[in-house]
């Protein structure tokens, strides 16, 4: 299966006031998204998952910068394109959905116009045609009374509807790749299920790929085919979704799995990974997870483990994958 | 929408009555007897007595207050003690001068302030930004009379510096008055735009593939200008009520100068008239800001 997007050795850094040295937020990430598939990118807040996607789109904040790497999209390196060339791809062939549907839409422009704007920009439709097409897509993403909703402002819609508007906006130009950055985090669980189902249906219909950025393993299980787990700016594990949930190999991934609340007897404490995410400016030597790892050895603290294949395309950055008994034993999907 | 506006206008009526009461009361307690103001020389006791009666000065406070309100509703703000002309007449003669100056300096401050603020925000921390913010701060913080004197001295060879002889006479007062407003608007525009540009919906707009210019003009500016418009509306109402210092320094016979004359002469009806006129304009300015707000920001619009 050809890859729609292939990120190789991506390094991104941030400057902050009063500090000369730049903080490395993403350190050599390799990531491939097969055509028509959904890839999950999982990790804690601050592990670099959003920075990875924003780097590819050229949307890093002013103090952010891509230091190295390439992002091949249909044979073109997105990181080498000028802003003008990248803008032709943005919103057209690669589109994005963001976490906060409350703040991701402009409060003073009607939602219909915000969707039609993308359409007019990339397809050159006139106002009338763009409006008709927008109403069509609203209907498709399950917005009731699409014609009335076209003229609504964001504050007049519920969170779920706003996220549907965002999805409509990202789908209206039939992109090859949809990057969804925590699209359901701000929604309640029943709406989350609806939105995920909608994304899956739209994918089936259009054949696009999805990069699903999330910290929610439930979402991963629900929608992803392939999963990348990131920790402290690096990929620590990559596996097929079934393989990951059947036997995840990296101690960090296993910790994440064990932290999921499950049906356990009353009074049993919920598992948590001890320690905190390391500071970007003071990364531990050797394996970045070693200070928090229950199985770390002397070697882990000195030498950095490579991302190695442990069988069947399952990659893991650990010297002793599946070493010891994980804190949670076997977790089933 | 119309209902909202009508309601908003009705709310201002009690405010207006309260303001008149306050001004009326304050001017009662100010020392100085009008009759002695009018007639410098000593008068005979019975003449003074007679005069006070015809001017209703001996009536109780509230009787005079309500009489004043009734007269005001008929468009009569009394007669100037010193100039012996109706106050409304004096104000309407002075107002055109003030109006011209106000419009000119408001336009000056908008045309200078908003673009400078936008450019400063876009070129944040550049030399242009530092320079324009420095000039803005200078305009905001320097006393008006000082800037006026400096300009009068540097431009006296080629621009009129006193009185009104033609449109050229408004150039210097416009710059003096407009500079500080322009500075305030530029700084406000800059800080609001920077704030807005950090917003999530700006990232959404960029992710659509819009050019930086379109992101600013279509998505950022409208949001950033909402607070600026409030300042602009209040600013224009205070400009319309007469720039007391600027008008005095440049000898422009506007409402501000009229108020100064009234104070110097202890001319209570005239002073009362100009203050009420000012209050009405300020209330109208706030009202206009409110209505503009709801036109621009759909979140405030009442369903």
Question: Is there a contact between B206 and A118 if contact means CB atoms under 8 Å apart?
Answer: no
CB contact under 8 A, A91 and B222: no
CB A77 within 8 A of CB A152: no
Q: List Cα–Cα distances, B138 to B47, B132, B135, B176, B225, in angstroms.
A: 56, 10, 5, 12, 22
What is the average pLDDT across B5-24?
85
Q: How far is A114 from chain B (nearest CA, A)?
A: 9
Percentage of chain A with pLDDT > 90? 43
Number of domains in chain A: 2
Same domain, A226 and A255: no
- pLDDT band, very low/low/confident/very high, at A324 (cuts 50, 70, 90): very low
CB pairs under 8 A between A and B: 75
Q: What's the CA gap between A213 and A224, in Å, rounded? A: 10
**Can you give the pLDDT at residue A325?**
43
Which residues, in sequence order, are bridge partners of residue A240?
A226
Which candidate from A88, A106, A155 shows the least CB-CB separation from B219? A106
Asked if A214 and A274 sit in the same domain, the reply is no
SS3 state at A121: helix
pLDDT at A133: 92
pLDDT at A327: 45
Q: How far is CA A257 from the centre of its chain?
A: 18
Whether A289 and A194 map to the same domain: the answer is no
Mean pLDDT of A77-106: 89
CA A33 from centre of chain: 12
In chain B, the domains with their CATH numbers are 87-296 (1.10.3720.10)
A 10 A CB-CB count for B176 gives: 27
Which of A87, A108, A155 is closest, CB to CB, to B209?
Answer: A87
Instruction: List, in order, residues 6 or more apart from A146 with CB less than 8 Å away.
Output: A135, A136, A138, A139
Q: What is the CATH number of the domain that holds A42?
A: 3.40.50.300
What local confidence, expressed as pLDDT, does residue A256 receive? 87
Q: What's the average model confidence in pLDDT over B140-169?
A: 85
What are the backbone dihedrals phi and psi of residue A294, each rounded to the nearest 5 degrees, phi first?
-75, -20
**Strands (DSSP E) along chain A, which ranges?**
3-16, 19-34, 38-42, 64-73, 76-77, 94-97, 177-181, 209-214, 226-231, 234-240, 308-309, 315-316
HSE-CB of B75 using CA atoms within 13 angstroms: 3
A46 falls within a domain: yes
Residue B83, classified by CB atoms within 10 Å of its CB into exposed (0-12), middle (13-18) or buried (19+), is middle
Residue A306 has pLDDT above 70, yes or no: yes
Are both A39 and A153 inside the same structural domain? yes
Q: Mean pLDDT highest for which of B64-73, B202-211, B282-291?
A: B202-211
Interface of B with A (CB under 8 A): 199-201, 203-212, 218-219, 222-223, 226, 296-299
Tally of helices (H runs) and strands (E runs) in chain B: 14, 0
As beta bridge partners, residue A39 has A211, A226
Per-window interface: A 137-176 vs B, CB < 8 A = 153, 155, 166, 169
Q: B75: alpha, beta or left, given left = phi > 0 and alpha = psi -120 to 50?
A: left
Opening angle at CA B225, ends B223 and B229, nearest 5: 135
- The three-class DSSP label of residue B174 is helix
In 3D space, the residue among A73, A100, A103, A91 whose CA is nearest the CA of residue A172 turns out to be: A91
| Contact call for residues B79 and B85 (beta carbons, < 8 A) | yes
How confident is the model over A96-146, as pLDDT tens digits?
Answer: 998 887 889 999 999 999 999 999 999 888 999 999 999 999 998 889 999
Distance from CA of A74 to the nearest CA of B (A): 18
In chain B, the percentage of residues whose pLDDT exceeds 90 is: 24
CA diameter of chain B: 87
Among candidate residues A230, A265, A287, the one where a domain is terminated: A230
The phi and psi torsions of A47 (rounded to 5 degrees) equal -85, -5
Q: Is the pLDDT of residue B47 over 80?
A: no
More confident residue, B34 or A163: A163
pTM exceeding the 0.80 threshold for the entire prediction: no
Question: Helix, strand, or coil here: A179?
Answer: strand
A179 and A52, same domain (yes or no): yes
Residues A162 and A268 in one domain: no
Q: Do A116 and A27 sit in the same domain of this protein?
A: yes
Q: Is the pLDDT of residue B111 over 90?
A: yes
Q: What's the mean pLDDT in A227-254?
A: 91
Which one has a higher pLDDT value, A163 or A331?
A163
Phi, psi of B9 (to 5 degrees): -70, -40
Shared domain for A281 and A146, answered yes or no, is no
Among candidates B206, B210, B222 on the partner chain, residue whose Cβ is nearest the Cβ of A108: B222
Chain B touched by A15 (CB under 8 Å): no
User: What would the pLDDT profile of A13-44 be if each residue is shown by its tens digit?
Assistant: 998 887 888 888 899 999 999 999 999 999 88
Identify the sign of the CA torsion A205, A210, A213, A219.
positive
For B31-46, write each residue's pLDDT tens digit: 666 666 666 666 677 7
Asked if A92 reaches chain B (Cβ–Cβ under 8 Å), the answer is yes
More confident residue, A323 or B104: B104
* Full domain range(s) for residue A300: 250-316
Q: Is A203 helix (H, G, I), strand (E, B) or coil?
A: helix
- Model confidence at A330: pLDDT above 60: no
Closest by CA to A222, choosing from A198, A206, A205, is A198
Same domain, A204 and A60: yes
- Domain membership flag for residue A242: no
- A67 and A103 share a domain? yes
Domain membership of residue A328 (yes or no) is: no
Count of residues making up chain A: 333
Chain position carrying tokens 């503009």? B292
Buried b (16+ CB within 10 A) or exposed e, B222-252: bbbbbebbbbbbebbbbbbbbbbebbbbbeb
Using the beta-carbon criterion (under 8 Å), do A105 and B201 form an inter-chain contact? yes
pLDDT in tens, B201-248: 999 999 999 998 999 999 999 899 888 888 888 788 778 776 888 888
* Domain stops at, among A160, A195, A230: A230
User: Which segments of A151-287 does DSSP mark as H helices, in order?
Assistant: 159-171, 189-206, 217-223, 241-246, 251-258
Let me know if A329 is exposed, middle or buried by CB neighbors in 10 A (0-12, 13-18, 19+).
Answer: exposed
Could you tell me if residue A114 is inside a domain? yes
Cα distances from B238 to residues A324, B99, B106, B235, B242, in angstroms, run 77, 11, 10, 5, 7
CA B222 to chain centre: 25
| Rounded Cα distance, B109 and B186, in Å | 9
Of A202, A230, A258, the domain-final residue: A230
pLDDT of A9 higher than 50: yes
Q: Are strands A315-316 and A308-309 parallel, antiparallel or unpaired?
A: antiparallel
Q: What is the pLDDT of residue B194?
A: 93
Nearest CB to B223; choose among A104, A107, A166:
A107
For B109, counting Cβ atoms within 10 Å of its Cβ (0-12 exposed, 13-18 middle, 19+ buried), the class is buried
If asked whether residues A260 and A222 sit together in one domain, one would say no
Residue A238 lies in a domain: no
Contact call for residues A45 and A280 (beta carbons, < 8 A)? no
Helix (H, G, I), strand (E, B) or coil at B134: helix
Assess whether A255 and A223 both reside in one domain: no
- Assigned domain for A327 exists: no
Looking at residue B33, its pLDDT comes to 67
């Amino acid at each position: 299966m050809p890859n729609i997007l292939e990120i190789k050795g991506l390094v991104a850094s941030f400057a902050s006031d009063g500090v000369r040295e730049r903080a490395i937020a993403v350190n050599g990430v390799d990531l491939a998204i097969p055509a028509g598939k959904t890839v999950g990118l999982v990790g804690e807040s601050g592990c670099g998952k959003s920075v990875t996607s924003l780097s590819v789109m050229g949307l890093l904040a002013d103090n952010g910068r891509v230091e190295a790497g390439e992002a091949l999209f249909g044979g073109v390196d997105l990181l080498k394109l000028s802003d003008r060339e990248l803008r032709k791809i943005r919103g057209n062939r690669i589109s994005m959905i963001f976490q906060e549907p409350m703040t991701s839409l402009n409060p003073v422009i009607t939602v219909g116009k915000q969707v039609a704007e993308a359409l007019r920009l990339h397809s050159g439709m006139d106002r009338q045609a763009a409006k008709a097409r927008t109403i069509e897509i609203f209907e498709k993403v399950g917005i009731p009374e699409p014609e009335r909703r076209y003229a609504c402002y964001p504050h007049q819609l519920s969170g779920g509807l706003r996220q549907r508007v965002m999805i409509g906006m990202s789908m209206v130009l039939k992109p090859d790749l949809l990057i969804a950055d925590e699209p359901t985090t701000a929604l309640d669980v029943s709406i989350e299920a609806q939105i995920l189902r909608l994304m899956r249906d739209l994918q089936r219909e259009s054949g696009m790929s999805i990069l699903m950025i999330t910290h929610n393993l439930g979402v991963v299980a629900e929608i992803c085919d392939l999963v990348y787990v990131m920790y402290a700016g690096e990929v620590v594990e990559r596996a097929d979704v079934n393989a990951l949930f059947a036997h995840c190999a990296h101690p960090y991934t296993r910790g994440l799995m064990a932290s999921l609340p499950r049906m356990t007897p009353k009074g049993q404490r919920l598992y948590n990974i001890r320690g905190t995410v390391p500071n970007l400016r003071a990364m531990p030597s050797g394996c970045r997870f070693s200070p928090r790892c229950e199985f770390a050895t002397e070697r882990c603290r000195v030498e950095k483990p490579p991302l190695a294949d442990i069988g069947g395309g399952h990659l893991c950055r650990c010297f002793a994958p599946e070493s010891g008994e994980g804190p949670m034993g076997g977790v089933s999907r | 929408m119309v209902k909202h506006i009508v309601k908003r206008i009705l709310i201002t009526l009690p405010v207006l009555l309260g303001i008149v009461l306050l001004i009326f009361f304050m001017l009662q307690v100010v020392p100085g007897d009008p009759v002695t103001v009018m007639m410098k020389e000593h008068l005979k006791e019975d003449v003074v007595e007679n005069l006070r009666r015809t001017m209703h000065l001996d009536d109780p406070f509230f009787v005079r207050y309500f009489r004043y309100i009734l007269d005001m509703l008929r468009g009569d703000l009394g007669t100037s003690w010193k100039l012996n002309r109706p106050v409304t007449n004096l104000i309407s003669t002075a107002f055109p001068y003030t109006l011209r100056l106000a419009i000119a300096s408001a336009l000056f401050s908008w045309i200078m302030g908003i673009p400078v603020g936008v450019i400063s925000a876009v070129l944040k921390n550049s030399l242009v930004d530092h320079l324009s913010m420095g000039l803005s701060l200078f305009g905001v913080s320097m006393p008006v009379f000082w800037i006026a004197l400096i300009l009068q001295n540097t431009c006296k060879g080629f621009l009129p510096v006193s009185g009104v002889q033609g449109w050229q006479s408004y150039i210097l007062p416009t710059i003096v008055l407009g500079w500080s407003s322009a500075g305030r608007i530029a700084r406000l525009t800059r800080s609001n735009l920077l704030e807005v540009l950090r917003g999530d919906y700006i990232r959404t707009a960029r992710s659509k593939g819009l050019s930086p210019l379109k992101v600013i003009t279509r998505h950022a500016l409208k949001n950033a200008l909402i607070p600026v418009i409030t300042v602009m509306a209040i600013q224009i109402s205070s400009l319309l009520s007469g720039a007391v210092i600027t008008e005095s320094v440049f000898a422009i016979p506007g409402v501000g100068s009229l108020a100064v004359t009234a104070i110097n002469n202890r001319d209570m009806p005239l002073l009362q008239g100009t203050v009420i006129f000012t209050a009405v304009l300020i209330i109208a300015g706030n009202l206009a800001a409110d209505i503009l707000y709801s036109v621009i920001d759909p979140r405030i619009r009442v369903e």
